[in-house]
Amino acid sequence: MNELRKDFLWGNSTSSMQTEGAYNEGGKGKSVYDIRKATDDASDWKVAIDEYHRYPEDIKLMKDMGMNCYRFQISWSRVNPEGDGDFNEEGIKFYNDLIDELLANDIQPMICLYHFDMPLHLAEKYNGFVSQHVVDAFIRYGKEMLKRFGNKVKYWITFNEQNLYSVPEAFKISGYKGDNSIRDLYQIQQHVFLCHAAIANEVHENYPNTQIGGMLAYQEVYPATALPTDVAATRKFLEFADNNLIRLFTEGKYSDEVVHYMKLNQLDDILDPKEMEIISHTKSDFISFSYYSTSTIDSTLIPINTCPNFYSIEGHKPNPYLLTNEWDWQIDPLGFRTVLTTISNETHLPLFPIENGIGVSEKWDGQNPINDDYRIKYHRDHIQAMKDAVSIDGVNVMGYLGWGLIDIPSSQGNMEKRYGMVYVNRGNHDLRDMKRVPKKSFNWFKEVIKSNGNIL
């Protein structure tokens, strides 16, 4: 018997800056990524995999594989060059054409509104999401995108990996340039959730056939040992990094423990009553998340008086029981099942893992498909773990999207860290011909999709 639902969504997930290129075409304004320069082991962001010009070719590959869902990101600065000024009709037409091409190939589009690429103007002038001006600009942008695409696109998320705005990564991804204070971290967290709430409420008030979900990078961590302080530190970090956001996504309320911490540290004035009224109406139709690996926390490494949001950095310790890839990401399929079941028990909502994959250095000989059995094993083990969560634990899973299943530069711009089942023939500093070449995993995943997960 097949454990997965008949309308299961199989597909690919990407961001705009890692795919589109065309950084100065079609009326696009600059984002914070567009001014980043290449380094010895990373590309710049000007071309990516040239999806702006090649999307029909890549959609055909998705169709050939059997995918029925593609989660992509709208580049805020492509449709609204300054972030807070006039909208760019040429940029909007690009996404309209992309959506129509997906629908014509029976692939459901899923839109993400923000994946770390703040319009440069908003970052430089207003300091990103720490600013109320940027909050207002994002809400205006999100509502305009709903107006343009809300009746065509069924599935939406606002922020990629939204809980990263609750940990130090927030300072890198929110358009912020400041002193990295705890107050600014909590202000960014509040503002980003306010933006999500405003757009989610707009969907539920005006787009009855559209679904919107929360999205987080589930920070699954284990105690490094059975030492009670390791267990306690791990529990506390999970409350601040995961559970707080899940409660906001589902109940429109902060965790009691987080609110108490804010009061003790004179941060509770951030919880503006008018903003909390908007947040209180938040609902989610599903919870989506990324999952790649797990980590551990050693409490003895955490300095006294460290903010709980920093525990996973200060207390990080490799897990000796897990294999790692060359970037020290630890491979843990059982952790994937644990995350699915944990979130399901907490929320009672459909779950949608929309990023999963493994980055590996790969070289193409120019002729033969890459034999990526390691990637097949990674996805096979994780899909089996997902099926166990469904059949044994009773989790309601909507679909499974691999990350960057057509090679894209990594989040740090490294084209040689490849997640794809299709090789893209370019390097960090040599664009070559960017030919798309299916790997061995392409045909394997094609059979998985065709069998709706029965054949692994």
Contact between 197 and 210 (Cβ < 8 Å):
no
Name beta bridge partners: 351: 287, 397
Q: At what angle do helices 440-450 and 373-391 cross, to 10 degrees?
A: 20
Q: How far apart are CA 26 and CA 79, in angstroms?
A: 9
Cβ-proximal residues to 269 (8 Å cutoff; 6+ apart), any chain: none
How many angstroms from the chain centroid is the CA of residue 455? 27
For residue range 344-378, list pLDDT tens digits in order: 999 999 999 999 999 999 999 999 999 999 999 99
Sorting pLDDT into bands at 50, 70 and 90, what band is 146? very high
The answer to whether residue 293 scores a pLDDT higher than 80 is yes
| pLDDT (average), residues 419-439 | 98
Percentage of the chain lying above the pLDDT 90 cut: 99
Q: What is the pLDDT of residue 3?
A: 86
Distances (CA, A) of 108 to 70, 152, 212: 6, 9, 14
Q: Has this prediction a pTM greater than 0.95?
A: yes
For residue range 147-170, list pLDDT tens digits in order: 999 999 999 999 999 999 999 999
Instruction: Give me the active site residues, please.
Output: 161, 355
Sorting pLDDT into bands at 50, 70 and 90, what band is 2? low
Angle at 50 between CA 49 and CA 54, to 5 degrees: 110
Q: How far apart are CA 65 and CA 11, in angstroms?
A: 9
For the four alpha carbons of 60, 406, 388 and 111, in that order, the dihedral sign comes to negative
Query: Structure tokens of 416?
Result: 């040689």
Sorting pLDDT into bands at 50, 70 and 90, what band is 219? confident
**Domains and their CATH numbers in the chain:** 7-449 (3.20.20.80)
Query: Structure tokens of 213?
Result: 């979900």
